Amino acid sequence: MPISRSRLIFTLAGLSIPGLILILLASPAPAVPGVDPNTLRIASAVQSLVMILAAATIGAFTAPAVGLRTPVLGARAEGQRPLAILRRNFGSALWAAAITAASGIALDLGNRALQPGGLTLEPAFPSVLQLLAGMTYGGIVEEILIRWGLMSLFVWAGWKLFGRRNQPVAGGYFWAGNLLAAVLFGLGHLPAATALGVELTSLTVAFIIGANSVGGIVFGWLYWKKGLEIAMLAHALTHVILFCVNLTLWALLG
């Protein structure tokens, strides 16, 4: 018997809580004149949790209809071992993370080289808190919002609008939904960059959208082929790889 919709929705929402807490701790305090920063933090967390519940609900209704899965969360209900599924797919997640990290680094170097003053590397000591926030917020929260919520909805809507009744969902719907969700994933990182004080030049905007869209496409493909939790694992491993690269650069050049 598959996992129930209500249990799936609240399990996904519960998994998102560590990421919400860590991203609040790792992000600069929002500054609005006359408003206590802690109040803004709490309001932001509540807003994010509402969005997660909405995305979890959308995915719970649309994903199974088009064959998108949560194999780890549904493992026990199907008589399987969750850890065995993760171990079996760890290699795929690691390769996907390596590709995503490498493409992000290449785009970052290209962006730096095209900026005034040319290519400069000034590595700072990477933050463990930022790493944990990236692994939990990026790896879990963003995957619930973008892949489970948006991509599932886009694939389902395309299939409902243009697909043939009683026919399997064609791969084109998955690619279209994946690409659209990935671009939105890239666009969604622009406000965060602004909050961190990044100057949004045209090249920087192109880099932020491009780097995150590449990752989004890779994670979306994993979601389609392997399941949501494998995309989550790949997203989290991407942050680990980038942390290790930054740590190495800091040790060599810092």
Which tens digit of pLDDT belongs to each residue from 240-253? 999 999 888 888 87
pTM (predicted TM-score):
0.91
- Structure confidence at residue 76 (pLDDT): 74
Nearest to 157 by CA among 139, 175, 177: 177
Res. 85: pLDDT tops 60: yes
Identify the band that residue 20 occupies on the pLDDT scale cut at 50, 70 and 90.
very high
The SS3 call for residue 197 is coil
Nearest to 2 by CA among 77, 81, 69, 72: 77
Q: At what angle do helices 37-62 and 152-162 cross, to 10 degrees?
A: 40
Beta carbons within 8 Å of 179's beta carbon, 6+ residues apart: 217, 220
Nearest to 229 by CA among 130, 132, 88, 133: 88
DSSP letter (8 states) at residue 28: P
- Structure confidence at residue 198 (pLDDT): 67
- Tell me how far apart the 2 most distant CA atoms of the chain are, in Å: 61
d(CA 116, CA 173): 41
DSSP letter (8 states) at residue 163: S
In this structure, are residues 2 and 77 in contact, taking their beta carbons and an 8 Å threshold?
yes
Res. 34: pLDDT tops 60: yes
- Structure confidence at residue 31 (pLDDT): 66
What average pLDDT does range 8-32 have in this prediction? 88
d(CA 235, CA 100): 9
- Structure confidence at residue 230 (pLDDT): 97
Q: Name, of 35-44, 143-152, 245-254, the range with top average pLDDT.
A: 143-152
| Residue-range definition of the domain harbouring residue 214 | 5-253
Q: What is the pLDDT of residues 108-137, one digit of tens each?
A: 777 677 766 544 455 567 789 999 999 999
Beta carbons within 8 Å of 91's beta carbon, 6+ residues apart: none
Q: Name, of 1-10, 63-72, 180-189, the range with top average pLDDT.
A: 63-72
Identify the band that residue 40 occupies on the pLDDT scale cut at 50, 70 and 90.
confident
How many domains would you assign to the chain? 1
- Structure confidence at residue 253 (pLDDT): 74
- Structure confidence at residue 119 (pLDDT): 44
Res. 148: pLDDT tops 90: yes
What average pLDDT does range 54-77 have in this prediction? 93
Beta carbons within 8 Å of 50's beta carbon, 6+ residues apart: none
Identify the band that residue 95 occupies on the pLDDT scale cut at 50, 70 and 90.
very high
